[in-house]
Each structure stands twice: as structure tokens, then as C-alpha cells.
Amino acid sequence: MFLLPKSICLAYGERSNSIQIRISDHPVQAPVRRIDLLIPLDKDAIAHVSDRLSKSTIIIGDREKFDTDREVVDVSFSNMAKEIGNIIFANTIAVGLLLGLTEGDIKEGKQFLKNYFTLKKKEEFIPDNIRALEKGFQEATRLVKEKHIDPDKFLHMKKSKEIKDDLLINGAEAIGFGAIAGGCNFISSYPMSPSTGVLVFLSQHAHEFDIISEQAEDEISAVNMAIGAWYAGARAMVTTSGGGLALMTEGISLAGMVESPMVIHLAQRPGPATGLPTRTEQGDLQLALYAGHGEFPRIILAPGQIEEAYEVTQKAFYLADKYQVPVFILTDQYTMDSYYNVKEFSVPEGKIDRFIIKTDADYQRYSLDTDNGITPRGIPNHGEGLVRADSDEHDENGLITEDMEVRIKMMEKRNSKLNDFKKEAFAPNLLGPKDYRVLCVGWGSTYHVIKEALDKLNIPDAALLHFKQVYPVPEESIKYLRKAKQIISIENNYNGQFAQLLEISTGISIETKILKYNGLPFYSDELAEEINHAISEKGGQK
């Protein structure tokens, strides 16, 4: 099952909010353009998705509400909801209907509602919602019995016991779980869609996991607080979107200079400026890459799957701490808000590596006596030494200096810190035949949709190369890119920012690009057509 709710926020002038659900008897993790069944609840909903309807789309709704030539199977959601007491129950009725049409188990549906509202401490909503669910379920039976709907069209789904223990979570929760598993105990942030889910998640679990969560007055404060927290010995992160990251850039540079670990979750949304606050894009890769003046190393990770969001976030804290560099986790609205079922996550065993030392009286925070540029990190009042962090160019003791020889040594020290990182970098993931001619390149949230598009096309010599570490560009990239006859870069942005980065890093330029920047994620059916078109146009040539 795959779920993609459009964020609900009327303040931004959204008229129709929708949720797309994809149900299948094999795992699905990407949206499609095609709509099989539409349940429009408000007047504008049909118009909103009209270009995605086909002859075979079934529409079920309050027929009199819609001014359309299309056939609408009449179910009076509004009246039924009002009978229960509030128009809002139309949602639960629709869920009941769907459950009935897909031959789901009403008992489990009821149990879900009970659990859901109990967890939210809103037990008083349970009875009415259960009635709504039952009403919808009965409507489904009626529609089939009265032959308004042909059950063979999409019913009779095979039930699977295998997924019984799967988790159903979204990207924001996966990042939150990853942070906790990575030892995060401090988050300071300023709300900004679509990044806020992570702040909310960690705040809600702050008591259980001993986390300090602070809503800062602005993103500048947020990032500076987080660096202060690392300095004092915590494991801190910030979560933000493009506009907030723009405000954090000086702080990111500070982390570079004081050699502070830092974890920055950047959930992208379409810009420039306020852009489309509740939509998706991969438009801020270059912002993350260049954020912060001066030269200092960084790592940028971009999970492609919910499992990877958990994995890389956990790893981000380890890497930031070990290498004393800022680590970015790049996601987007699509990742944040979409849900699908995943196998249970493993929880790390043993103590978390902290990379903090007890200092001696002669401790020097920026000692040059190191062969990999990394000086062991002390924290205040842990040992006999003093810990001096300085945003000015500094000597080994953290004191301000203008000595040019020291400057040169410190620049070389800071910029060599990732030399050893190669050994534990995330290699790109190759899916498909090893002897490919066509290589589709993707990064971050497009993993599943490209994979599914290629599966649909079933072209024997086409493969996907997916990057969850986008910077430093993994060493293996060159080898993979060189082997391809045609490379197709697929990105949710206008310029093909990752293709540009690959070219800078490998010297290989990618001419074929499939780019989408209307604010929506790729759909696998639509993408399959585009890939097919791109291959035939170039005949599989570069």
C-alpha cells in the first residue's frame, strides 16, 4: 500500500486537498498518474484531477454536487455524514466504502480506528467514526449488489500474511526514528513545511527518549543553538526547508570553521522564495552543496526509500560526529508525506560511538598533531582541559590568529578530514542488468518510481543507478557512467542539478534529462513513457 496525502493547509489557498492511495497485492511504493477510482468529496475535486481520468475511471460521489458529463455512481456522502452528526465523517465513510470494495476486513478497520483515536487521546470520536466506517462498508455491498459497480474490476485482492508485522510509516517518521536510533537528543528548529513533521515527531517523543526540543525564534537561532548543543556534548539536529536553510547558511559555515558536527535535515519544496509550500521538488541540491561561505568539507545524503531514511539519518549522526563535519539529509515533501509499508527496522545494539574524549590539562581543540585532520573533540568540564571553539581563524588552542602559516595548516587540516570517509561512503545502488546499455540515474526520493517505471518497460538492457549519497560523489560513479551507451538523468527539478554535479565530479556529461518541476512527484506510468521516448529518440546513444 502506498499513500500520498497532499498536505492540508487552507491558509496557502489550496482549494482541493486529496489523498492518493494505491493498493496492490504486491508491494508498491510509488504513485501512478492513472486513477482507477475517484471519490471526490468537494465540488472542485473532479476538475482538479480531470487530466488524470480515463474512460475506465470509476467516480463515486454525491451525483448532484458535480457538474460533469461523466458518469458518477451516486453515494450521498454528505447526507450520510450529516446523519452521523458532521460533514467531516464523509472521510471515514469513504474509507469504509473503499474497505468494502477491496474486500477488506471491517473488524480490522474498526480496531484501527480505536487504536488511532486512543493514541491521540480522542476516545470520544471512536463511536461515530465506527458508525461512519460501517455505513461506507454497507454502501460498498449495496453498490455491488445493485450492479452499479463491477466487482471484477478491482476486487479479489490476494491477502498476504507476510506483511502482518510491517510498519506503515511516512518519511518524516522514518527520519525521526533514524535520529533517535542515531542518538539525537537535541533538536532546535523553526516550523516550515514540509520539514516540520520531524520536529513534531521528536517533540512528541522527547520525554521517552530524553530529547531537548526547542522551537527557535528563527532558523539562524536554530542552527546556532544546535552547534552550541554539540559543543556542550549533545547530538543535535535541525530540520528545515529551502528558505530556512538559506537563513542557516552562515551557521553551517560556522560548523565548518569550529569543526562542529552538525546534522541538517533539508526537506525540499519548490522555490524560489516561498514557492509552492505544500508541493515537492529536488531543487535545493546545489543550495546544500554550496551553503556556507568559505571552503570546508560536508556530506550530503539523500534517502531513496523509507528504510533508507531511517538508515542514513542514523548514520548521519555517526558521520557528523566522527568526521566533525556538517551532514545534510536531503528529502522533499513527497518523501516526508508519503506512507508505505516496510519491514521492521533493526535497532542498533551496543553503545553508540560518541567520539568525545576526556581532556588533559594541555588539551588543544585544534591540535595539528593528527594524521587525518581530525583532532579528538573535548567538551567543557569533562577532563582537566579547556575547550575553545573559534569562528575566527585560530591556532591549535582555538585562539584568534592572523599567522599565515597557521592559516595554511588549518585550511589543510579542515579540508582533509573526509579523506578517510571513502572507506565507509554509500556506494550508488545498481538495479537491473550489469551489462546495461541504457543507464537511468536518480538520487533521493525518485528511487521507487524509476525502478517501477523500468520494471514496467522491461527493457532488457536498461538499468537504474540510484545515489543515496550525492556528495562527495561516490568514487564508483565514473565506472558506472562510462559503461553506459546512453545515460538518462531523472530529476524532480529544472536544471538537472545532480547531472551537473556528476559532470563536475566525473567529467562525463549527461545529455538526456527527464525533468519535472510542476510541483508534483513523478508517476511511474508517466515516467515509463518518458524513458521509452528518450531511449527511442536517441536510439540508446549518449
Partner 1 sequence: MTKIKQFEIEQVKTAWCPGCGNFMILKALQQALKELSLKPQQVVIVSGIGQAAKTPHYLNVNMFNGLHGRALPPATAIKACNPELTVIAEGGDGDMYGEGGNHFLHTIRRNPNITHLVHNNMVYGLTKGQASPTSEFGFKTPVQTDGVISEPVNPLALAISMGASFVARVFCGDTKKTADIIKKAIQHSGYALVDIFQPCVTFNKVNTFKWFKEHTYDLEDHDSHDRNQALKRAMEKEKLPLGIFYQNEDKNPFEQQLSVHENKKTPFIMRELNRQKLKELLKSKQS
Nearer to partner 1, 214 or 530 (CB): 214
Q: What number of other Cβ atoms are within 10 A of residue 405's Cβ?
A: 8
C-alpha cell at 429: 545502488
- Decide whether 188 or 278 has the Cβ nearer to partner 1: 188
| Per CB under 8 A, 216 contacts partner 1 | yes
Our finding on whether 512 is near partner 1 (CB under 8 A) is no
**Which of 228, 213, 235, 208 minimizes the C-alpha distance to 354?**
235
Whichever of 213 and 506 has its CB closer to partner 1, that residue is 213
Q: Smallest distance from the beta carbon of 382 to partner 1, in angstroms? A: 8
- The pattern of x and - marking residues 331 through 360 that bind partner 1 according to CB under 8 A reads ----------x--xx-xxx-xx--------
Return all residues near 143 (Cβ < 8 A) that are at least 6 apart: 60, 73, 75, 97, 101, 149
Q: Which stretch binds partner 1 (CB under 8 A): 97-105, 165-173, 469-477, 486-494?
A: 165-173
Closest to partner 1 by CB, 111 vs 509, is 111
Provide, rounded to whole angstroms, the least separation between the CB of residue 201 and partner 1: 10
183 binds partner 1 (CB under 8 A): yes
Q: Cβ neighbours of residue 273 under 8 Å, at least 6 residues apart? A: 243
Q: Which of 242, 297, 304, 385 binds partner 1 (CB under 8 A)?
A: 385
177 lies in the site for partner 1, by CB under 8 A: yes
Count of residues engaged in binding partner 1, rule: CB under 8 A: 71
458 conformational bin, left if phi > 0, alpha if psi -120 to 50, beta if neither = left
Q: How far is the CB of 79 from partner 1 (least distance, A)?
A: 32
- Could you give the C-alpha distances from 186 to 213, 230, 406, 444, 491, in angstroms and in order? 6, 9, 34, 25, 33
What are the angstrom distances between the C-alpha of 361 and each of 258, 354, 374, 384? 20, 21, 19, 5
What minimum distance in Å lies between the beta carbon of 173 and partner 1? 7
> Would you count residue 165 as binding partner 1 (CB under 8 A)?
yes
Instruction: Classify the C-alpha dihedral 102-107-112-114 as positive or negative.
Output: positive
Cβ proximity to partner 1: between 90 and 223 the closer is 223
94 binds partner 1 (CB under 8 A): no
CB of 341 to partner 1, least distance (A): 5
Q: For partner 1, which residue of 30, 132, 167, 488 counts as binding (CB under 8 A)?
A: 167
Q: Which of residues 226-255 bind partner 1 (CB under 8 A)?
A: 226-229, 231-234, 236, 250-251, 254
Nearer CB in complex with partner 1: 221/445: 221
Q: Is 157 in the site for partner 1 (CB under 8 A)?
A: no
Which residue in 119, 124, 147, 158 binds partner 1 (CB under 8 A)? 119
Query: What is the footprint of partner 1 within residues 195-214 (CB under 8 A)?
Result: 205-212, 214
Binding mask 283-322 for partner 1 (x = CB under 8 A): ----------------------------------------
Residue type, 361: A
Question: What gap in Å lies between CA 261 and CA 222, rounded to an integer?
Answer: 15
162 binds partner 1 (CB under 8 A): no
In the region spanning residues 400 to 439, those forming contacts with partner 1, defined by CB under 8 A, are 400
Residue number with CB closer to partner 1 (318 or 480): 318
Using rule CB under 8 A, residue 116 touches partner 1:
no
Candidates 152-160, 393-401, 509-517, 528-536; binding stretch for partner 1 (CB under 8 A)? 393-401
Q: How far is the CB of 351 from partner 1 (least distance, A)?
A: 7
Q: Based on the shown chain and the rule CB under 8 A, indicate whether residue 440 belongs to the binding site for partner 1.
A: no
Query: Would you say 305 and 448 are in contact if contact means Cβ atoms under 8 Å apart?
Result: yes
Distance between CA 93 and CA 100 in Å, rounded?
11
Closer residue to partner 1, CB minimum distance, 147 or 207: 207
| Peptide bond between residue 194 and the one before it cis (omega within 30 degrees of 0) | yes
Q: How many residues are there in the chain? A: 542
Locate 381 and state its grid cell.
568540564
CA distances from 469 to 285, 431, 453 (A): 12, 16, 22
H or E segment and range at residue 522: none
Interacting span for partner 1 (CB under 8 A) from 84-92, 127-135, 377-385, 450-458: 377-385
Q: Which of 499, 506, 478, 492 is nearest to 448 (CA)?
A: 492
CA angle (170, 10, 132) in 5-degree steps = 65
State the chain's maximal CA–CA distance in angstroms: 87
Compute the C-alpha angle 519/21/240, nearest 5°: 40
Nearer to partner 1, 100 or 176 (CB): 176
CA angle 388, 389, 393 (to 5 degrees): 110
Among 25, 74, 123, 384, binds partner 1 (CB under 8 A): 384
The reply on whether position 180 binds partner 1 by CB under 8 A is yes
